Structure 1
Amino acid sequence: MKALVISTAAPDATSENQTGSTNWTLRLLRLLSYNHEITLLAPPPLDEPFLKQAAFSIIECPPDNHFGKCARFIKSLRWKIYPSMWHQRSSKIERSLAEATGDSFDVCWLLDDYAGMYLREVPRNLPIVFCRHFVLNMGLPVKSEERNLASIIKLGWHRRLATSFDRWTAKHSNITVVGTEESRGNLHSLAPDAKIIYFPTKPCYLPKPIAAKSILRSKRADKRIVAVFVGDMSFPRNEDAVDWLISKALPLLSEEEISHFHFKFIGRTNKEKMENKASAGNSSVEFTGFVDDLSSHLADAQCTVIPVFGGNGVRIKTVTLLGSGLPAVSTKDGIEGLPIKNGVDAIIANNPKSFAEGLRQMLDVNKRKSLAANCRIAMASFLSEDEDANEIMRISEQAIKANF
């Protein structure tokens, strides 16, 4: 099956520039490559090792942002396209779509949210699968933090465009793919007749299992248990998660209990800002920033914390943590869609009191050992590429059928 594949960000799961979104984009591309003959249109840098070794066609399409500010405003209003998307616009992709025909390809996959701005330019007889990483209307605040008129008007304008974009793209795509059930419910509320498929987000490369002995014993000189959180803390939801953990859950632990933990937060962050949030007393908190070798940091950990709320976005890091077998204390939202049983594969806690109690359980070596073993088994089949590749093929076939 011939697939025209469009991404507005370079697929990336290995460099410092990677995000959960670029990681998932690369996984989707890998899955498509199993059963599709791909022509990929994407911006540079296309340095990911998988892309350099790929047997399919890759056309580098740098963004050139050739629309002026006034033109972008008018086109956003007319075409219902979110304003920031224009900065990733590529005239080379425009020309490629103008030349494409339904005879050249069997299906078109738009691999990220911003690629939706090309939806109207895809040939009408070419079925479209649109992959949503982050449903726009779900990520905007209801009220502006700045109470001046200009900020209120700007937020209202962005909310209107976000909702319009989410609605019309769901209606005009043959199939929309989302990574969370909450995202699917949101889009169904905007476009009840649209075909929305839940396809859980997963890391491009399988996480390296953590050795059992590492989970049982800390390598630190002070013997504190290392509890890791992995995520881009410049992203509001992750910053809020860390703030909630430090300000709400950790204060419920006793001084003795907190003295047994070292909390390590891995990922891009404003280090000074986040360290100011750290509690005093016997707490031990570290913000590493981006790390080149995540596996080595996870190998030093005895457990993980996933205090995230909200069902929108890409949860690559969560799946990586659980797939590696780290015992976890997580909110329900943090493990949504994963084959995880509370108390068996992980500890699920939705409020500060229960989260603190989950951390207390992590002080029990046998509990950590049990959770780790069960979690590895639960996640093994979930992370299989073969079945996911077959599901991607079925989605393409459904899109073709829906287009007739």
Structure 2
Amino acid sequence: MKEKLRIILLIPVPPLPMGDAAARWFYVLVKGLVARGHNLTVFVVCNQLEEIDKVNHLFPKPDYDLRCYLIPKRLPGIISKIETLKRPYSYIFSSELRKDLAAELAKPYDILHCEVIWSGWLGITHKERAVISIHYLFSLDGTFENQPSLQMKLIKFFTYRAEQKLLKTFPRIITLSERLTQHIQTINPEAEIYTVPLGIDFSFYPFDKHKHINPQPIVGLIGSFNWTPSYTAAERLLTRLWPEIKRRIPDAKLQIVGRYAKNALAKFTDIEDLEIHQDVPDTLPYFANMDVMLYAPISGSGMKVKVMEAFALGTPVVTTSDGVEGIPAEDGIHAGISEDDQGLIDRTVELLNNPNLRQKSRLKARYLIEKYCNPQVTIAQIEHIYNEMLR
């Protein structure tokens, strides 16, 4: 590989180490590529001015070349609606970003790296020197399913169709898991598809080798509940799993934490010993306070950052195979893993009743995630893909 590559990176959220799921990986990606000596220009989509300030503080010039653009206000009218139908979610890219990106792509460069599928709209005309990273797929997650309104059915149709179009367009694709890789191969069998796990910066995840034991055991769930997998995990927990756990461990408590939690779960607020915390400034204290995180989505593609964070922080996890997608976790060793309700309940109760088992699980999970999602390992894999492209 060249000692120094000219890389243009397009990311749809700012690279903040404690931002949303994708943002944490983008932070590692930007830091890692620059640390390895590459000439990196990053086009960043931001939702508010405060995010731009944070990005500029974390990535000062001239050490970093990050260019931030606010999401433009969507104009009313038929033209805007038609553009949304033609290219769903492309509205987040402002005309200024498009213009500046085109100017940069007119100069010599080695790689155009588009993170998250919708960034692909800006890479189509440069696909031969581009790679697109797929974090999840709405069609696999079942997003917009069971939505009776005509509007939602149209959104589902055009969104799923757009995913197919973008996946068929790009000759090189990065995914987070073998499940995503195998699925995309059926859509675009000619593509070179690489599987690279998310890397996370472990300096932001303090690990205490000896976790405290609560006098009343706490089951918890942390996520963004405007996202289909997290919502289905919460609904399943509240309606199908928690009643039996509570019957078997009467003094247990349940806490659900995250974005839109109270809004999305308003109909469940009268459940006994349930606490819901919405839009908290920091989720780490809630992870630390849980005895078990129970995350059992009905469906959900890609790696689940909240499960990764639980592993990193030493919070024991009970989940499904979807919950540990992209992580080589084993049932009974790194986590309790089961697909059916009874298996999830039994594993949760067993962990709550057995502090020694919780301790063994959390130590092995931390070791696994440190080894598999180490930034040095994941960035090296990204560099290898660039090398393959340049051949």
TM-score range relative to shorter protein: 0.7 to 0.9
2:339 to 327, 341, 350: 350
1:264 maps to 2:279: no
What residue in structure 2 maps to residue 286 of structure 1? 275
Cα-to-partner distance string for 1:327-378 (whole Å, 9 max, x where unaligned): 2211111112213221122111211101110111111122112212222222
Q: Does the 8 A contact of 1:28 with 1:111 survive in 2?
A: no
Q: Does the 8 A contact of 2:311 with 2:369 survive in 1?
A: yes
User: In the TM superposition, what is the alpha-carbon distance from 1:398 to its structure 2 partner?
Assistant: 1.5
1:318 to 307, 322, 334: 307
Give the distance between the partners of 1:200 and 1:262, measured in 2 at CA: 33
Higher relative contact order at CA 8 Å, sep ≥6: structure 1 or structure 2?
Answer: 1
1:372 maps to 2:353: no
2:316 to 314, 319, 327: 327
User: In the TM superposition, what is the alpha-carbon distance from 1:284 to its structure 2 partner?
Assistant: 1.9
1:388 to 347, 367, 378: 378
Give the distance between the partners of 1:154 and 1:297, measured in 2 at CA: 35
Normalised TM-score (structure 2): 0.86
User: In the TM superposition, what is the alpha-carbon distance from 1:195 to its structure 2 partner?
Assistant: 1.3
What residue in structure 2 maps to residue 120 of structure 1? 124
2:388 to 375, 398, 404: 398
Equivalent runs, 1:2-401 vs 2, <5 Å: 2-14=6-18, 18-35=19-36, 36-44=38-46, 45-46=51-52, 47-48=54-55, 49-52=57-60, 55-64=63-72, 69-72=77-80, 81-82=87-88, 84-85=89-90, 87-101=91-105, 104-122=108-126, 127-140=129-142, 145-146=147-148, 152-168=153-169, 172=170, 174-215=171-212, 217-218=213-214, 223-253=215-245, 255=247, 257-271=248-262, 273-277=264-268, 280=271, 283-362=272-351, 363-401=353-391
Normalised TM-score (structure 1): 0.83
SS at match of 1:43: strand
Q: Does the 8 A contact of 2:261 with 2:276 survive in 1?
A: no
SS at match of 1:276: helix
Give the distance between the partners of 1:56 and 1:323, measured in 2 at CA: 28
SS at match of 2:259: coil
User: In the TM superposition, what is the alpha-carbon distance from 1:32 to its structure 2 partner?
Assistant: 2.3
Cα-to-partner distance string for 1:39-81 (whole Å, 9 max, x where unaligned): 112234331453247712122333446887544555567xx52
Q: Does the 8 A contact of 1:207 with 1:320 survive in 2?
A: no
Over 3 Å counting, the alpha-carbon distance change for 1:66 and 1:236 in structure 2 is closer
Give the distance between the partners of 2:252 and 2:203, measured in 1 at CA: 28
Cα-to-partner distance string for 1:252-305 (whole Å, 9 max, x where unaligned): 3363x332322221211241552532674xx42211112223222222222222
Instruction: Provide structure 2 residue ranges, at least 5 long, that are not aligned to the other structure.
Output: none
Q: Does the 8 A contact of 1:269 with 1:289 survive in 2?
A: yes
Cα-to-partner distance string for 1:84-128 (whole Å, 9 max, x where unaligned): 32x212222322333235762211111232211101343x7x721
Cα-to-partner distance string for 1:1-58 (whole Å, 9 max, x where unaligned): 11111123222233xxx32122223232223223321111223433145324771212
User: In the TM superposition, what is the alpha-carbon distance from 1:191 to its structure 2 partner?
Assistant: 0.6
Give the distance between the partners of 2:147 and 2:367, measured in 1 at CA: 45
Give the distance between the partners of 1:143 and 1:379, measured in 2 at CA: 32
Counterpart residue identity of residue 336, structure 1: E
Give the distance between the partners of 2:113 and 2:99, measured in 1 at CA: 17
SS at match of 1:108: strand
Over 3 Å counting, the alpha-carbon distance change for 1:250 and 1:33 in structure 2 is same
Over 3 Å counting, the alpha-carbon distance change for 1:351 and 1:344 in structure 2 is same
Give the distance between the partners of 1:295 and 1:158, measured in 2 at CA: 34
Instruction: Give the superposed CA RMSD.
Output: 2.8
Give the distance between the partners of 1:278 and 1:244, measured in 2 at CA: 15
Give the distance between the partners of 1:143 and 1:136, measured in 2 at CA: 10
Over 3 Å counting, the alpha-carbon distance change for 1:290 and 1:202 in structure 2 is farther
Identify which range, 355-364 or 333-342, moves more after superposition: 333-342
Over 3 Å counting, the alpha-carbon distance change for 1:294 and 1:195 in structure 2 is same
Give the distance between the partners of 2:10 and 2:144, measured in 1 at CA: 32
Instruction: Provide structure 1 residue ranges, at least 5 long, that are not aligned to the other structure.
Output: none
SS at match of 1:267: strand
Cα-to-partner distance string for 1:214-261 (whole Å, 9 max, x where unaligned): 34x11xxxx211222221012121111011112112223363x33232
Q: Does the 8 A contact of 1:229 with 1:306 survive in 2?
A: yes
Cα-to-partner distance string for 1:110-166 (whole Å, 9 max, x where unaligned): 1232211101343x7x72121122324334558552255x65455434433332233
Aligned length: 379
Over 3 Å counting, the alpha-carbon distance change for 1:271 and 1:111 in structure 2 is same
Runs (4 or more) in structure 1 with deviation over 6 Å come to 65-68
Q: Does the 8 A contact of 2:218 with 2:292 survive in 1?
A: yes
